[in-house]
Structure 1
């Protein structure tokens, strides 16, 4: 019993030290704030799938088009922050280190000076590619806010949160918004196949950490980003006439392929008292939002020219106001058109 207790204490110490180191690293970066107008705009890029046909004209054309889509949408919307919601690459097709493809997809952000954060998808690993390689490449750049919050002992890599602060700096300030990122894993790497779910250990970490933050800061509203939808998305889509429901809007054009088992992850988000909306990718033919219990659940738009499907590419754009934290989001298509504003309203260009 003494050895077991010592081992548990040592493991807990490692988690605490790792989280402390991650928090220290995060604090070295400039705080993310609402802009001077009291607004905060996020562009979500999902399912880029760079490197799908490496070394071929088809592959170069696809990746070039994906870069163009991102560059144009960034020019249309000029966001305050960018989120990559998984499947940055098609890792199972890449037979060399993925660094070159990651640097290529970051080019539009680096050229314009945008800050970003990522959560990884089931294709962000493969025969010669690991999530750790992608993370190492991203982390070279000061505008990268992808981290792991000391959760490297938990299943998955991109499990972390980012506080968003008021537009005006003050002494002892607290965040007005939190962005949560979760790794739904999946696919395979040189060590074998990975479960495609947000593991129970990560769910428990979120419950504990959310309670700690609520005790310290109050119930700060939050958004959650992960790649593979939960079974709840399937329940909503299969049992809802989404195009004709007042509290839903968007594209429904393929079946939901959810996480491989229910780890009560969505239940934890619903019961959090803080999470307002979830954003996922994975199913390229879906780009809808609906209310679900205490929150809204949304699909992002398929952004990349890699991956299956010929739907018009685009991105989901999220706009928040600081004073009452009102939120709207919409799809910006690659041609500049705005569609599917949520909550439903007349979108303006």
Structure 2
């Protein structure tokens, strides 16, 4: 009889656990285009949140106003979320703030996130435990937070859009050789992207699947394109993009 009671108790705990985590599990499996054939992504970057600093209030206000007005299907934050110690409390505060909107969200790390006493591996663990956060990591690749998200069709289980998330790291690894600036996306990450894209293509009857890539440090080609006299730029640009040096 005691064994039977123990069995039912364990089963009850399992049901409670699954019920409690249902919103999180459901979000990880249900990224699909809307019935109107659209999928809206809102992207935030370089939040530079300082712990209990009034100057960061405007960032939270901007996030709230944007999400409530745009009603996105996915929120993406591309690095430099935190900009002060204590790193864990600061990062948890941001994760909880985003989670309250009950919209799936993903993230990549920037060059500053790892500079306040906690590495990106530990920060990612916090993110993975946050409801509605879809961030993960492919083991064996350089950096932390390399992964993909699949967007399905509105009425079919096939992949219609692939999102790639890449860690663009921190500072140049060649400072001793006199090359300053920022790091690059490494070759093993590029090879992983190529192989993953090829696998998705094979699954799709050899037809390429549209894709977007999210990472923090912009490519050098971005500045080259933006400096062209024929470039069309929207918004306010107060400084050049901080790309790796060629």
TM-score by length of 2: 0.78
CA offsets, 1:92-142, max 9 Å, x none? x42x3x222122223343222011000111011014121112111111123
Residues 48, 89 of structure 1: 8 Å contact kept: yes
Q: Where does residue 174 of structure 1 map in the other structure? A: 158
> How much has 1:187 moved relative to structure 2?
4.8
Q: Where does residue 239 of structure 2 map in the other structure? A: 254
1:199 correspondence with 2:181: no
User: Which protein has the bigger strand share?
Assistant: 1
1:159 correspondence with 2:156: no
> How much has 1:179 moved relative to structure 2?
0.7
Runs (5+) with no aligned partner, structure 2: 1-24, 173-180
1:124 correspondence with 2:105: no
Matches within 5 A, 1:222-261: 222-242=211-231, 245=232, 248-260=233-245
> How much has 1:226 moved relative to structure 2?
0.8
Runs (5+) with no aligned partner, structure 1: 1-25, 189-193, 262-349
Work out which of the residue numbers 40, 48, 60 in structure 1 matches 2:53: 60
Q: Where does residue 30 of structure 2 map in the other structure? A: 31
Q: How many residues align?
A: 212
In the alignment, the residues of structure 2 paired with residue 46 and residue 120 of structure 1 have an alpha-carbon distance, to the nearest angstrom, of: 10
> How much has 1:250 moved relative to structure 2?
3.6
Higher relative contact order (CA 8 A, sep 6+): 1
Q: Secondary structure of the equivalent of 2:106?
A: strand
Q: Where does residue 42 of structure 2 map in the other structure? A: 43
Distance 1:127 1:101, change over 3 A: closer
User: Which protein has the bigger helix share?
Assistant: 2
Query: Which structure has the greater CA radius of gyration?
Result: 2
Q: Secondary structure of the equivalent of 1:74?
A: helix
In the alignment, the residues of structure 2 paired with residue 154 and residue 195 of structure 1 have an alpha-carbon distance, to the nearest angstrom, of: 19
1:114 correspondence with 2:99: no
> How much has 1:235 moved relative to structure 2?
1.1
In the alignment, the residues of structure 1 paired with residue 99 and residue 140 of structure 2 have an alpha-carbon distance, to the nearest angstrom, of: 31
1:76 correspondence with 2:69: yes
Residues 185, 196 of structure 1: 8 Å contact kept: yes
TM-score by length of 1: 0.56
Runs of 4+ in 1 over 4 A off after TM superposition: none
Residues 84, 119 of structure 1: 8 Å contact kept: yes
In the alignment, the residues of structure 1 paired with residue 189 and residue 224 of structure 2 have an alpha-carbon distance, to the nearest angstrom, of: 23
In the alignment, the residues of structure 1 paired with residue 170 and residue 77 of structure 2 have an alpha-carbon distance, to the nearest angstrom, of: 17
Could you say what the CA RMSD is over the residues aligned between the two structures, in angstroms? 2.4
